[in-house]
Amino acid sequence: KAGVTQTPRYLIKTRGQQVTLSCSPISGHRSVSWYQQTPGQGLQFLFEYFSETQRNKGNFPGRFSGRQFSNSRSEMNVSTLELGDSALYLCASSLGDRAEAFFGQGTRLTVV
């Protein structure tokens, strides 16, 4: 079965722009979580969606937002990009609560 798909794989944006990243979970998985991974801060939780509802949110500014569609696909948006937003953004899907999470390969965002 297909794994978690994240698009695009690589992205270069300019400071002040906004960006939208996409995540298609494994079929049947209703929980989608997003993480930011940087060398300095490691893996940090951004938010989790389940059945189109945000269930959890991490400690990120309001410039980071997300949503989930009825088919469980999820998007995250970052507005007014800053250099510090450069990171690998990972999406993970799970069948249920506190079940095995399957990660995508991530989207590498570079802000210049």
Residues in touch with other proteins (CB under 8 A): 4, 31, 33, 35, 42-45, 48, 50, 55-56, 58-59, 90, 92, 94, 97-106
Pick the closer one to other proteins by CB: 15 or 43. 43
Distance of closest approach, residue 43 Cβ to other proteins, in angstroms: 4
Task: Tell me whether residue 10 or residue 18 sits nearer to other proteins (CB atom).
Answer: 10
Q: Which is nearer to other proteins, 13 or 30 (CB)?
A: 30
C-beta separation of 74 from 23 below 8 A? yes
Residue 103: closest CA among 94, 95, 53 = 94
Query: Closest separation between CB of residue 20 and other proteins, Å?
Result: 19
- Rounded CA-CA distance 26/45 in Å is 20
Strands 31-38 and 42-50, how do they pair?
antiparallel
Residue 6, CB-side half-sphere exposure with 13 Å CA sphere: 24
CB of 82 to other proteins, least distance (A): 20
